[in-house]
Amino acid sequence: MKLSFLSAVRRKVFNNYATLPYEVKNFISFGLSFMPNHLLLGSHFREVYRMIKQTEYLSGEILKKRREENLSRILLHANRSVDYYSVLFKQLGVPESEMLASPIHVISRIPPIDKSTIRDNYPIFLSNTINKTICDYTSTGGTSGEPFYFHINSDRSTKELAYLIDLWERVGFNLNSRRVTFRGSPIKGNKGWENDWITRERKFSSFELTDQYLGRIWPDLCRYRPDFVYAYPSTALALCQFIERSGRQLPKNIKAILVGSENIYDGQEDYIETVTRKRVFKWYGHSEKLILAGECEKSKYYHAYPQYGYVEFINEKGELASPGDFAEIVGTGFMNTVLPFIRYRTGDYCTYLGEYCPECGRHYPIFKDVRGRWTQEVLYGKKGNSICMSAINVHSDNFKNVFRYQFYQDTPGRALLKIMPQEGFAQKDKRAIEKEFNLKFNGNVVVEAVVVKQIPLTHRGKYMFIDQNTSEKLLGVS
Ligand SMILES: [Zn+2]
């Protein structure tokens, strides 16, 4: 009992660690950095990590069987404890024996859902076995502009970390590797960076990627002797543009540039690799924790972990894609038992390639060219620096009563934040959101929030997170 309580506390601390004040984080992380990794990360991490190693080169047939067992477990759990699914399975006439015998066939009969299906029917999507000590209330963040909150098991982060470590090991990562990070961390103080002793990161600002700032922090970046650069594609690009302009070089011991969380466009990856003379290593994942995929050692294609979730690729006809088809990524996660996501449309698209990579020998689903929710829209700071959408991403409670929001910018250094409220929204929410962004941008962009009745979509029906009207050009390489 005592142990499970301690374990719950550890999971909560792990998930909320990033939001602690720097002084507190620095104190905790320095103290904990002396603890052996296997104790620090806990038993869930160890179990998942071991399982990945034991299963990654299994035959396609055995992996399929394991995936079906995981699917059966989620389907049975949903049928027994989630009202939405128990009603649906009754309507479809699916008995539990079929969920056990042919779960993939059962899945194919379930209508895909998306975030609006869940948001509009939230209480009936929650498992009635919900236990507050094993779950958190989280969100997909602000990048879609329409905040989406949901419950999820609190052990997800340590489990996911086991997958990420396994992924990055393909390019030489280990738990002692040091990273220099450009991923939207708010940086306080005069140094221009913060250390995290536990994750072995030196975090730099993503809100001030000017020549002046990068020139100032460059000696500290090199002195840290980093093994990896950990960035968004767009912050890696800004870094490379600086490297090219200033004639600098990245420290020699850097093994790769790890990038994820937003689209990377044709030409950008080559550009980063040419300028840095390092490999760009990409991965794809999201807050809902349904699919996690990364490149292999030998190819540039994404490999989805079949142990993490069941991924389907649905083409424009609504059918399962054939190799070469452009398809939507649809996921059923194995991790979230509090709110099971079954056949969830991610809104992300890719080119589906097959179920096996001949280069590395893994029987994992393979795809390339991810396009979707993550774009490279940017805001411009007063010094002309660009701030990418992924760095602007927020995960706080302040957006609970917001339906949709959008930045409007026509002057570098200033932005108007349009907020379309929903029921329960109050003036204090508006002030809190305004304050949150202004703290994050730290004077680089001054944000003023306004409440509006409507935020129109573009003529293609797409939603723009940033309505950019300055004369600056979008960061990128064409
Ligand atoms: Zn491979």
pLDDT score for 342: 97
Per-residue pLDDT tens digits for 74-119: 999 999 999 999 999 999 999 999 999 999 999 999 999 998 899 9
Query: What pTM was computed for the model?
Result: 0.80
Q: For residue 300, how far is its CA from the centre of ligand 1 (angstroms)?
A: 8
Rounded to 10 deg, the angle between the 37-55 and 2-16 helix axes is 90
Lowest mean pLDDT of 20-24, 55-59, 139-143, name the range: 139-143
Nearest CA to 370 out of 183, 233, 198, 188 is that of: 233
pLDDT above 80: residue 37: no
Give tens-digit pLDDT for 285-335.
988 999 999 999 999 999 999 999 999 999 988 899 999 998 999 999 999
State the pairing for strand pair 149-153/179-182: unpaired
Map out the domains of the chain with their CATH numbers.
1-34+155-286 (3.40.50), 60-153+297-372 (3.40.50.12780), 378-468 (3.30.300.30)
CA of 357 to the centre of ligand 1 (A): 4
Query: Residue 379 — pLDDT band, cuts 50, 70, 90?
Result: confident
Q: For position 130, what pLDDT does the model report?
A: 76
Better-scored residue on pLDDT, 116 or 134: 116
Q: What distance in angstroms lies between residue 160's CA and the mean position of ligand 1's atoms?
A: 20
Report how far ligand 1's centroid is from the alpha carbon of 132 (Å).
Answer: 39
Calpha distance 59→330 (Å, rounded): 24
Q: Which of 462, 63, 108 is nearest to 314 (CA)?
A: 108
Which has the higher per-residue pLDDT, 377 or 329?
329
Q: Phi and psi for 238 in degrees, rounded to 5?
A: -60, -40
All residues at 6 or more sequence positions from 458 whose CB lies less than 8 Å from its CB, including other chains: 464
The whole-number average pLDDT for the span 424-428 is: 90
Q: What's the CA-to-centroid distance between 367 and ligand 1, angstroms? A: 11
325 Cα–ligand 1 center, Å: 19
Q: How confident is the model at residue 474 (pLDDT cuts 50, 70, 90)?
A: very low
Average pLDDT rounded to a whole number, residues 444-460: 82
Residue 365 near residue 306, CB atoms below 8 Å: yes
- pLDDT of 422 reads 81
How many A from CA of 294 to the centre of ligand 1? 9
Distance 368 CA to ligand 1 centre (A): 12
Q: How confident is the model at residue 478, as a pLDDT?
A: 29
Q: What rounded mean pLDDT belongs to the chain?
A: 87
- Which runs of consecutive H residues, i.e. helices, occur in 139-210? 156-169
What is the 227 CA–ligand 1 centroid distance (Å)?
23
The answer on pLDDT for 446 being more than 60 is: yes
- Checking if the pLDDT of 143 tops 80, the result is no
pLDDT at 138: 85
Output the pLDDT for position 238.
Answer: 85
- 3-class secondary structure, 443: coil
Listed residues: CB within 5 A of ion ligand 1: 296, 299, 357, 359-360
Helix (H, G, I), strand (E, B) or coil at 84: helix
Write down the pLDDT at residue 335.
93
